[in-house]
Amino acid sequence: MSIPLVGRLSMHEWPFVILSLIISWLEYLISIITQILPYQVIDFFTNTTKVVYKQTSNPINLIRSLVTSDVDNGEDVVKYKYYKYENNLGETREAYERMIDMINSDSIQEMVALFGYEVESRVIQTQDNYFLTLHRLVKPNDDVPRNGRTVYLHHGLLMSSEIWVTMLNKNQNLPFVLYELGYDVWMGNNRGNKYSQKHLFHSISSEAFWDFSLDEFALFDIPNSIEYIVSATQCEKITYIGFSQGTAQIFAALSINQTLHEKIDQIIAISPATTPQGLHSKFLDTFLKSSPNLMYLIFSRRILMPSVNFWRRIMYPPLFSTMIDMSNYLLFEWKSENITKFQKLSSYAHLYSTTSVKTVVHWFQIMSSKNFQMYHESASRFSPSAPVYYPLHTVKVPIHLIYGSTDSLVDIDVMMNQLPAKYTTAHAVPRHEHLDNLWGYDVDKRVFEFVLQYLDEPNIDIPASQKKPAERHRNYLASSPDDITLIPPQTHTSSLSVTPRKPSSAGSLFV
């Protein structure tokens, strides 16, 4: 009879496993205790934290109060409101109030309403019986002429559709820009995140519900979502815009589903990911790459870090934002210098959404093998079976990569060699990291311009008057200036003019 773990872990791995288990269970115990504490006790510790935090440089002073409001069922609900404007960062009061509203927004419906939009929720059933929510952007009393083209935006790891609409300035939210240019805008959600936690047979508390990885996203979530949108809009093809893991999902889906090529005209991949280089911490990087399955010992085989949302709700927001910054630096060496403090408070409040532990294990397998492979359920490290790799070279859809030049997760040379040379181009955004391409203070000028240039490409037979979104975007901005004034964190002098990279027929790279 075999004993679990014995013989599978080396001596140097055991201390880390034990320490991780202690920390994990301690965090779980603290979260349980905190949940049963009275509101007054939690409020006391939150206010104490605020007093300490105010001693730091350039603090953001937020005051919490209890707000009671009636809901449809006649019951009162508790909600927190933050207020007190202090111009210690040079930001305007309008930016401050927009940030407050973003922190208090609990759903994408509330978030888009801040800018005068609405979302239609469409629930679809995947072929393996998960229920996913798609969000379609709409506008009351809409008088914007439609151009007959459809775009589909998909989020990254540990995210939801909310990440696309967190920017404080209306014109820096890509869905709003595309909508005003006449596009039919849809946003997707992976199984397991806050908008897709339902299965026909499995309970969300069961291990079976969380038994999915990138493979299921590629096999079911992406193709089933796209098929629904094409059917609902009666369009021939859509443009797919993905962020981070959202790009990996469409690459994988197309590589194993040739019929999907008929429904997509091009892919715009923002901060793309297929084979990330790894973690900034050499110890964690080496350890987790060598033993990805240890994640199961630390977090189980269900949901990954379910208590994050709880801590976000009770933690003083500037402190929560600081904790996210520290984590991002320790894991990926991201400094987030292109994202303002106010924008971090707004975006980080909607950064995390749930996923499975298996999905993260899958990513560590990919980083360990340095190949974009399917999930590999190996019985032991000596198993003779080999992982199956996604045949990315079979993708026959134009792919446009937009990556940050200082993004530690993107190895552009490796990615360009994996993707089909004939269909792939790439643009680097100078001094941008991974999240900067989504939430950077200059994202409209340094990322959106690339997106709109790609949308100009004549790969769909539509009237010329309904093309040229880049030119129409500039006209729109001239007639509809920024709704609030934002102060950049630092002054950049770099230009947008960056030469695109294309592989030669031999697969080499040139600038």
Residues with a catalytic annotation lie at: 244, 407, 434
> Which two structure tokens, joined as six digits, stand for 496?
């947008």
The residue among 217, 225, 220, 267 whose CA lies nearest residue 247 is: 267
On the 0-12 / 13-18 / 19+ scale of CB atoms within 10 A, 358 is: buried
Print burial letters for 124-152: b (CB count within 10 Å at least 16), e (below 16).
bebeeebebbbbbbeeeeeeeeebbbbbb
Query: C-alpha dihedral over 51, 57, 58, 60, to 10 degrees?
Result: -30
Three-class SS state of 268: strand
Residues 6+ apart with CB under 8 A from 510: 501, 502, 504
Residue 56 and residue 67: Cα distance in Å, rounded?
28
Q: Do β-strands 130-138 and 198-199 pair in parallel, antiparallel, or remain unpaired?
A: antiparallel
* Dihedral sign from CA coordinates of 135, 140, 146, 148: positive
Three-class SS state of 166: coil
Residue 358 and residue 216: Cα distance in Å, rounded?
11
Strand ranges for 164-248 from DSSP E: 184-187, 198-199, 238-243
On the 0-12 / 13-18 / 19+ scale of CB atoms within 10 A, 430 is: middle
CB atoms near residue 121 (< 10 Å): 13
Residues 6+ apart with CB under 8 A from 283: none
Residues 6+ apart with CB under 8 A from 495: none
Print burial letters for 380-408: b (CB count within 10 Å at least 16), e (below 16).
eeeeeeeeeebebeebebbbbbbbbebbb
In this structure, are residues 156 and 245 in contact, taking their beta carbons and an 8 Å threshold? yes
In this structure, are residues 186 and 242 in contact, taking their beta carbons and an 8 Å threshold? no
